[in-house]
A and B are shown apart, each in its own frame.
Chain A
Amino acid sequence: MDPQAAKMIGAGLAAIGMIGSGIGVGNIWASLIATVGRNPAAKSSVELYGWIGFAVTEAIALFALVVALILLFV
């Protein structure tokens, strides 16, 4: 196979990893909204954990992005 084509296919496969991160981010905000909806007083204390969870989950997507970009450009 042409190595260039293999690179592109590999980058595409690497990007699949973002599915998990998408589910995770959706899950975090869904739970956060549900929590705040049930107990609005907890908003300030829960919000911080929400942002931390969001950042950590988003980082997983970035690993996939890094792999895809490295495959494409290096």
Chain B
Amino acid sequence: MANPVEQFKIQPLVPLEVGGVNLSFTNSALFMVVSIVLVTAFLTLSVRGRALVPGRWQSMAEIFYEFVANMIRDNVGYEGRKYFPFIFSLFMFVLFGNLLGMIPYTFTYTSHIIVTFGLAVVVFVGVTIIGFARHGVGYLRMFFPHGAPLATAVILVPIELISYCSRPFSLAIRLFANMTVGHIILKVMAGFVVALGVFGIVPMAFLAGVTILEFGIAVLQAYVFAILSCIYLHDAIHMH
């Protein structure tokens, strides 16, 4: 039975070292490129016809577009339109990464915490910059709840500050943990199927259920990642 965490191993495909920094083109990078190519091809080819009455592919592309557009309109409001390209790219990148990982023998790049943390930090830093750009120093008021007695600021401000700083961590850990745990469960279950012989039919049935659940989680986590980014953006733009 193969090691269940072996699937997450990063292997350099094209070894490359620049100035002592390992910049190898790994299988993780390969699948990021694959997903970007797939997303770009899917979106450009499907709307190439520019039909007024959309065909099947164009409908799919339009569904994604409308889904994200509605999400931004509901959670950020009218001012959020500017940030649509960013949220849309983020959503598609995470979604395709999660879904590509469900294909056997592929690599799930969202199952590495450094990838999800990188994405989360981009959101976090971007949102903080937007907040300061829109409100100036007044953005710092966010760290002190309205109406609380001034004396409590000593405790409340650090707490709110930590709460604010924990956002990228919880965002990253959520996506990473969901994907990693799901893939490990799949692998362990598949190992049971092989190991139990005829009785493997029982874990096999379970495995089928878990696979469907995993597809659901793959889509749900991409949605959660995007919607939480929207909520943070809303906070930065409106300050409640």
A–B direct contact (CB < 8 Å): no
Could you tell me which B residues sit within 8 Å of A by CB distance? Answer: none
Could you tell me which A residues sit within 8 Å of B by CB distance? Answer: none
